Structure 1
Amino acid sequence: MTHAYFVSGTDTEIGKTTIAAGLLHAARRAGLSTAAAKPVASGCRPGADGLRNDDALALLGECSLALRYEEVNPLAFAPAIAPHLAAREAGLELSVARLLEPVRTVLAKGADFTLVEGAGGWRVPLSGAENLSDLAVALDLPVILVVGVRLGCINHAMLSAEAIARDGLRLAGWVANLIDPTVSRLEDNLATLVERLPAPCLGRVPHLIPPSPAAVADCLDMAALLGSL
């Protein structure tokens, strides 16, 4: 049986890729084949082979299937700004239609475990009235929500979960990523998230330096995720 999920977050810079790479690593440990896609990325570095994004490269490094960089990250932009603005500066229009086929190509590879990582939070704009969340809807993928644990995360997590449900998708699970190791009342905050979010907590990842996929995988409960189907 194949498993595929869309990875979103409560905000930008809260460790979506760190958690996604850890999930892929944990899946590989469990003997599953893995694949991933990050359909659009900004903040990419130029190189001999073109623009490359560190997050996309991290995902590619945890894919057991042979994938080309361009398959994982078909749209890469240099400016470290919102993807729709970066695309506009490059003379391109981001749309669900433009992103859908490349992601479906990765999904068609048939890996046991595939992740599609978004950019920023749930309501990242594309063009017109479209958002990146519309891609997840078009793909009809259950969602893994990365909660960046810091002041305000309960509100952000609950609003994200409500938006995911409103869009007709299932929240398969969430991960608490402790991006602020000094956050006050940590245990109380986590208990509130467990009580309020309508999905299992897949793990609590401490503030790791560096946050290697193996170290993150040690903190994750794959049985809680795969058993939730």
Structure 2
Amino acid sequence: MNAKNSASTPAKVKRQQRNFFITATDTDAGKTFVACAIIQAFTDAGKRVAAYKPVAAGCDKIDGKLINEDAQLLTQFANSQQLINEVNPISLEAAIAPHIAAEKLNITLTLNEIKAGFEQLVSLNADINITEGAGGWRLPLQLNTPSPTFLSDFAINTKQDVILIVNMKLGCLNHALLTYQAIIADGLTCVAWVANSASSTTMSNLDENIASLEQLLPVPKIAQINFDSDASSSLTAKIFAAAKEIDLTLLG
């Protein structure tokens, strides 16, 4: 046997991947906006990023397919050449709690299905995998079992690091602390938080509330994103601007 035939084929080098799960203190906290900004920040840093939004409720029917606006944005910003159905495999038309929307359609939301989509994501071999949750941390997937299933169970099962988006509004201190405590109690690491002003109405004593959270949450604040009221600026441009506010070095 000659040397050419005896030489082994070099194995494909697998990237050192990091998996981040984006959650928030409540719904409409700007998870997608911030997730896209984080994706853009990593892209600007030369990283290859894949995105995943396993469950989306509130979709439009376009050419016979259910399309979620948030999933479209994630697909646009991720740079791993994903199709939208790969980013968002479970799309529900009604803009209501996913488990209720699924029940009305006699559909069962399962962890196995969500994990299968995540395994496909990981197989893309990107540097960074960003999963955006739905609603808050303890979002129900199904209730008609002896033990209810939550989307947080998926994050736990896949051992993802968590980034908490805090919707800066009245009540956010309580919401942020309870969410952080739930993440830690579930055995995961909350690696960072983002102060996001998701509403055009500025929170009273915003700076003082952010300072309080900086004292109360024992993880770094990687960005403070203020609401951009410039109607002449596109959403894409606003996300690009927000990306520049994110300090990725604090993620380690």
TM-score class normalised by the smaller sequence? over 0.9
Corresponding position of 2:12 = none
Matched, 1:213 2:239: yes
Q: Determine the C-alpha separation between the residues in 1 that align with 2:250 and 2:180.
A: 18
8 Å Cα contact 1:147/1:157 also seen in 2:
yes
8 Å Cα contact 1:171/1:198 also seen in 2:
no
Q: Determine the C-alpha separation between the residues in 2 that align with 1:149 and 1:173.
A: 16
Q: Determine the C-alpha separation between the residues in 1 that align with 2:187 and 2:123.
A: 23
How does the TM-score come out when normalised to structure 2?
A: 0.87
Aligned residues: 226
Corresponding position of 2:128 = 113
Deviation of 1:49 after TM superposition, in Å, equals: 5.2
Equivalent positions of 1:1-229 (< 5 A) are 1-48=16-63, 50-128=65-143, 129-180=148-199, 181-209=201-229, 211=235, 212-225=238-251, 227=252
- Whichever residue aligns with residue 205 of structure 1, its letter is I
- Whichever residue aligns with residue 42 of structure 1, its letter is A
How does the TM-score come out when normalised to structure 1?
A: 0.96
- Partner of 1:164: helix, strand, or coil? helix
Q: Deviations over 1:66-121 (max 9, x none)?
A: 11111100000110000111111121111212211111210221111110111000
Deviation of 1:223 after TM superposition, in Å, equals: 1.0
- Which runs of structure 1 show a deviation greater than 4 angstroms over 4 or more consecutive aligned residues? none
Select between 50-59 and 179-188 the one with higher mean Cα deviation: 179-188
8 Å Cα contact 2:58/2:68 also seen in 1:
yes
Q: Determine the C-alpha separation between the residues in 2 that align with 1:205 and 1:12.
A: 17
8 Å Cα contact 1:77/1:87 also seen in 2:
yes
Deviation of 1:133 after TM superposition, in Å, equals: 0.4
Q: Determine the C-alpha separation between the residues in 2 that align with 1:135 and 1:53.
A: 21
Q: Determine the C-alpha separation between the residues in 2 that align with 1:178 and 1:93.
A: 35
Q: Determine the C-alpha separation between the residues in 2 that align with 1:104 and 1:202.
A: 28
- Whichever residue aligns with residue 101 of structure 2, its letter is A
8 Å Cα contact 2:28/2:198 also seen in 1:
no
- CA RMSD in angstroms comes to 1.1
- Whichever residue aligns with residue 53 of structure 2, its letter is K
Q: Determine the C-alpha separation between the residues in 2 that align with 1:69 and 1:58.
A: 9
Q: Determine the C-alpha separation between the residues in 1 that align with 2:20 and 2:64.
A: 29
Give 1 or 2 for the bigger CA radius of gyration.
2
Q: Quick one: percent identity of the two aligned structures?
A: 38
